[in-house]
């Protein structure tokens, strides 16, 4: 078995010699113009695959390396120039810009039908080029076989202001990436049984000779599979599925057509009964491992399933991306340890964990975005206009809110968008967000159409929800949890004062209003407190008072607020309680603490601190708020000894 580089490029050959001494270079005759792919990364990888297969078909027992390099500005592909005028136009276009140099890679072995792909991206900032500099470089006649019409080793600092990433990639071959792919290509294969799920990473777990193997996609609990140990560490390995030898009895057909690529959910191919069983087991294991708490000494309630396993979420943040050269809408792709995390967007036509309304709303927003000619936002380059589409739905009212999130800049006319959505969406907003991170930030809000909020109902209570309101994402599952909290409250003495910390828009506190004498809610977000007070008025509730501020400060400075508290309810952010917050909560010395969390690990850590401070875990609950994902909601009732 030999190695062949499917390229005539002397630069690629020279770079590969630094990695492999003995290989052959045989150029492919593939015409890249036959590739219709518009996305630059997909184009480069497709071209590399065609080249590798072209040569591999002629030399079936050899490993063939295919490579193709393109330059792109935003998502425009700039390949090799046809002539002098074309090269000059390319350099003028690149002048003063930040562009990407992308090399697609493919390793192929015909007789085993093995194909492995990858890519490398380098970001290059050009200086503002003078015409004289461009013409002097072109006069050297070194541009014809160069993507973007330049060789970086020839133009150097004269053209390049900065470079982020692999220099070798810009020369023509990302050597380190090729080394990684060759290592993966030659990795051993083993047969393992999937015996666990690594929460919250979403990876299946097998064992080979006592060593953990993480299978990052495609495997189901109970499968017997053949995997390639593509990335080996000292105490564990990453495996890629080669073949499912014996399918798990818990396997089921996923209902969503986008399952597998989309990162929205990972368990649709696992029976729901097994999903919740694994979640409960993870919760108990985490309690013991991190918190040192043996659940058998408490009243442990088996995991409470979600009333709906599809169309259960009342809020989703979708991302704009690019599919076949056009603006698309969807969710981020699943993370893989084998690939660069590009935060790519998987285009969706529907979303079965949110709502059927996606089928009605997406086409309207896509037509609008494509008509403007503006591009989707790239989190890596901070270029592009359309960022996110946030949809919120009242599950018990059917009301729908849409929030279009873009960068600031020249704004297209949105009148037509509002008119087309008027029969479907009750509240339409536009938000400007210029933060560099790939998160939705409500920097500037503009209401375009309809009411400022939508309404949700929980039993006989009404809640108004605004673009940035915090509200539990699974309405019907949340109602079950609120019922368990209410049962606990009603077991306490008649005189009940409740202190709700990190109260959000007050949904827990308001649901307990008829079971308490006085309720105090505290949250750091002013908009949440305004919303909570409005929800009180909406429901005619007078025994709830809400305060804006940080939990640590209000408890420490306002003794009258916390004095005489019978029950403390905490529902902190995912990271859990800070040490200061926990210290001040313990100073309240309430007989009962009810802790709600979406993070079992943070819950277990903080529970250990409560136990050390003299609280006993009386009841432990686990709720499946998030079917088909590794996420869950947990709750503990702690009584002061």
Say what percent of the chain tops pLDDT 70. Answer: 98
Give me the sign of the Cα torsion angle 613, 631, 532, 491.
negative
Q: Give the model's pLDDT for residue 12.
A: 93
Second-level CATH architecture of 315-458: Beta Barrel (2.40)
pLDDT band at 437 (very low <50, low <70, confident <90, very high): confident
Q: Cα separations (Å) of 41 from 27, 126, 272?
A: 22, 21, 36
Average pLDDT over residues 524-545: 95
- Per residue in 282-294, pLDDT (tens digit) is 999 999 999 999 8
Say what percent of the chain tops pLDDT 90. Answer: 68
Q: Cα separations (Å) of 388 from 217, 333, 453, 466, 618?
A: 26, 15, 19, 17, 43
Kindly report the three-state secondary structure assignment for every residue of 172-238: CCCHHHHHHHHHHHCCCEEEEECCEEECCCCEEEEEECCEEEEECCCCCCCCEEEEEEEEECCCEEE
Residue 431 has pLDDT above 60, yes or no: yes
Cα–Cα–Cα angle for 168, 170, 176, rounded to 5 degrees? 30
Q: Give the model's pLDDT for residue 233.
A: 79
Q: Which fold has domain 276-307+472-640?
A: Rossmann fold (3.40.50)
Q: Give the model's pLDDT for residue 413.
A: 84
Two structure tokens written together for 420 = 């087309």
Q: What is the mean pLDDT of the chain?
A: 91
Q: Please identify which of the residues 262, 265, 536, 598 carries the catalytic annotation.
A: 598
338 compared with 484, residue with greater pLDDT = 484
CATH 2.60.40.740 correct for 189-251: no
pLDDT band at 338 (very low <50, low <70, confident <90, very high): low
- Per residue in 253-300, pLDDT (tens digit) is 999 988 988 888 989 999 999 999 999 999 999 999 999 998 888 888
493 exposure class (CB count in 10 Å sphere: 0-12, 13-18, 19+) = exposed
- Per residue in 118-139, pLDDT (tens digit) is 999 999 999 999 999 899 899 9
- Per residue in 34-50, pLDDT (tens digit) is 888 888 888 999 999 99
pLDDT band at 108 (very low <50, low <70, confident <90, very high): very high
What are 134-141's contacts with CB under 8 Å, separation 24+? 134/88, 134/91, 134/92, 134/95, 135/88, 137/91, 138/84, 138/87, 138/88, 138/91
pLDDT band at 637 (very low <50, low <70, confident <90, very high): very high
The DSSP annotation for 503-553 comes to -TTSHHHHHTGGG-SEEEEEES-HHHHHHHHHHHHHTT--SEEEEES-HHH
Two structure tokens written together for 558 = 């306002």
Same fold, 189-251 and 315-458: yes
| Domain definitions of the chain by residue range | 3-185, 189-251, 276-307+472-640, 315-458
- Per residue in 448-471, pLDDT (tens digit) is 999 999 999 999 999 999 999 999
Residue 334 has pLDDT above 80, yes or no: no
Within 10 angstroms of residue 359's Cβ, the number of other Cβ atoms is 12
pLDDT band at 304 (very low <50, low <70, confident <90, very high): very high
Q: Give the model's pLDDT for residue 308.
A: 97
Residue 341 has pLDDT above 70, yes or no: no
Is 598 one of the catalytic residues? yes
Q: Which fold has domain 3-185?
A: Maf protein (3.90.950)
- Per residue in 158-186, pLDDT (tens digit) is 899 999 899 999 998 999 999 989 988 88
């Amino acid at each position: 078995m030999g190695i062949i580089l499917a390229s005539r490029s002397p630069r690629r050959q020279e770079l590969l010699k630094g990695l492999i001494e003995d290989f052959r270079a045989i150029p492919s005759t593939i015409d890249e113009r036959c590739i219709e792919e518009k996305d630059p990364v997909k184009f480069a990888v497709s071209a590399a695959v065609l080249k590798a297969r072209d040569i591999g078909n002629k030399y079936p027992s050899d490993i063939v390396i295919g490579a193709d390099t393109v330059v792109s500005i935003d998502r425009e592909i700039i390949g090799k120039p046809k002539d002098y005028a074309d090269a000059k136009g390319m350099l003028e276009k690149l002048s003063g810009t930040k562009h990407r140099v992308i090399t697609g890679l493919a390793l192929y072995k015909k007789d085993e039908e093995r194909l492995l792909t990858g890519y490398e991206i380098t970001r290059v900032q050009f200086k503002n080029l003078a015409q004289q500099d461009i013409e002097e470089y072109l006069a050297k006649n070194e541009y014809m076989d160069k993507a973007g019409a330049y060789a970086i080793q020839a133009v150097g600092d004269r053209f390049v202001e900065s470079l982020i990433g692999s220099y070798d990639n810009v020369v023509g071959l990302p050597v380190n990436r090729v080394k990684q792919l060759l290592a993966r290509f030659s990795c051993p294969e083993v047969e393992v049984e999937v015996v666990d799920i690594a929460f919250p990473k979403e990876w299946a777990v097998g064992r080979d000779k006592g060593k953990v193997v993480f299978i990052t996609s495609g495997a189901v609990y109970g499968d017997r599979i053949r995997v390639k140990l593509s990335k080996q560490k000292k105490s564990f390995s990453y495996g890629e599925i080669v073949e499912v030898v014996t399918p798990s009895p818990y396997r089921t057909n996923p209902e969503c057509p986008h399952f597998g690529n989309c990162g929205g959910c990972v368990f649709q191919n696992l029976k729901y009964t097994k999903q919740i069983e694994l979640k409960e087991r993870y919760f108990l294991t985490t309690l013991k491992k991190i918190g040192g708490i043996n659940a058998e000494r408490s009243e442990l309630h088996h995991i409470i399933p979600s009333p709906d396993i599809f169309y259960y979420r009342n809020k989703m943040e979708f991302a704009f991306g690019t599919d076949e050269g056009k603006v698309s809408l969807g969710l981020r792709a699943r993370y893989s340890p084998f690939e660069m995390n590009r935060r790519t967007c998987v285009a969706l036509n529907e979303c079965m964990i949110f709502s059927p309304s996606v089928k009605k709303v997406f086409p309207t927003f896509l037509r609008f975005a494509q008509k403007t000619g503006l591009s989707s936002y790239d989190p890596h380059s901070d270029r592009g206009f359309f960022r996110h589409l946030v949809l919120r739905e009242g599950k018990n009212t059917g009301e729908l809110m849409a929030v279009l999130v873009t960068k600031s800049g020249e704004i297209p006319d949105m009148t037509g968008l509002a008119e087309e959505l008027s029969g479907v969406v009750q509240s339409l907003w536009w938000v400007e967000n210029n933060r560099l991170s790939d998160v939705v930030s409500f920097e500037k809000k503009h209401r375009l159409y309809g009411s400022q909020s939508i309404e949700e109902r929980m039993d006989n209570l009404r809640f108004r929800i605004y673009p940035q309101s915090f509200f539990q994402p699974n309405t019907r599952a949340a109602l079950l949890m609120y019922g368990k909290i209410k049962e606990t409250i009603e077991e306490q003495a008649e005189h009940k004062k409740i202190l709700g910390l990190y109260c959000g828009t007050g949904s827990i506190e308001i649901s307990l209003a008829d079971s308490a004498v006085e309720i105090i809610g505290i949250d750091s977000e002013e908009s949440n407190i305004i919303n909570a007070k409005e929800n009180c008025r909406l429901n005619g509730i007078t025994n709830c008072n809400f305060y804006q501020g940080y939990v640590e400060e209000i408890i420490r400075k306002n003794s009258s607020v916390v004095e005489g508290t019978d029950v403390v309810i905490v529902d902190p952010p995912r990271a859990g309680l800070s040490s200061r917050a926990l210290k001040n909560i313990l100073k309240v010395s309430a007989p009962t603490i009810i802790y709600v969390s979406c993070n079992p690990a943070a819950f277990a850590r903080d529970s250990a601190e409560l136990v050390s401070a003299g609280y006993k875990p009386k009841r432990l609950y686990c709720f499946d708020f998030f079917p088909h994902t590794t996420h869950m909601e947990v709750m503990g009732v702690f009584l002061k000894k």
